[in-house]
Amino acid sequence: MPNKLTIALLQLSVGREVALNVRRAADSVRKLKVDNPRLQLAILPESFNAPYGQEYFPKVAEEVPKGPTCQSLSQLASELSIYIIGGSIVEREGDKLYNTCTVWGPDGALIGRHRKIHLFTMSIEPANFGGVEFDEAAFLSAGSEPTVVQIGQQKIGIGICHDKRFEELARIYRNMGCTMLVYPSAFCICQGPMHWELLQRARATDNQLFVVTCSPARDNMSGYVAYGHSMVVNPWAQVQREAGEGCEFIVEEIDFDVVDQVRRQIPIYKQRRTDVYAKARFDL
Ligand SMILES: O=C(O)CCC(=O)C(=O)O
Q: Is 70 exceeded by the pLDDT of residue 283?
A: no
Q: Ligand 1: does its nearest atom lie under 6 Å from the Cβ of 199?
A: no
How confident is the model at residue 280, as a pLDDT?
Answer: 84
Q: Ligand 1: does its nearest atom lie under 6 Å from the Cβ of 187?
A: yes
Q: Is 70 exceeded by the pLDDT of residue 284?
A: no
User: How far is Cα 253 from Cα 3, in angstroms, rounded to an integer?
Assistant: 10
Q: Is 60 exceeded by the pLDDT of residue 106?
A: yes
The model's pLDDT over 39-94, given as tens digits with 9 standing for 90+, comes to 999 999 999 999 998 899 999 999 999 999 999 999 999 999 999 999 999 999 99
- Across 175-179, average pLDDT: 98
How confident is the model at residue 224, as a pLDDT?
Answer: 87
The model's pLDDT over 6-29, given as tens digits with 9 standing for 90+, comes to 999 999 999 999 999 999 999 999
**CATH class of the domain defined by 4-117+143-277:** alpha beta
User: How far is Cα 189 from Cα 202, in angstroms, rounded to an integer?
Assistant: 20
Q: Ligand 1: does its nearest atom lie under 6 Å from the Cβ of 263?
A: no
User: How far is Cα 128 from Cα 69, in angstroms, rounded to an integer?
Assistant: 37
Compute the mean pLDDT over every residue in the chain, rounded to the nearest whole number: 96
Distances (CA, A) of 74 to 11, 152, 205, 217, 248: 20, 18, 34, 24, 23
Q: How many helices (H) and strands (E) does the chain have?
A: 8, 15
Q: Are 29 and 75 in contact (CB under 8 A)?
A: no
Task: Using most ligand atoms within 8 A of CB, pick from 185, 196, 213 the residue to mutate for ligand 1.
Answer: 185
Indicate the residue type of 136: E
Neighbours of 259 (CB within 10 A): 21
- Across 219-224, average pLDDT: 86
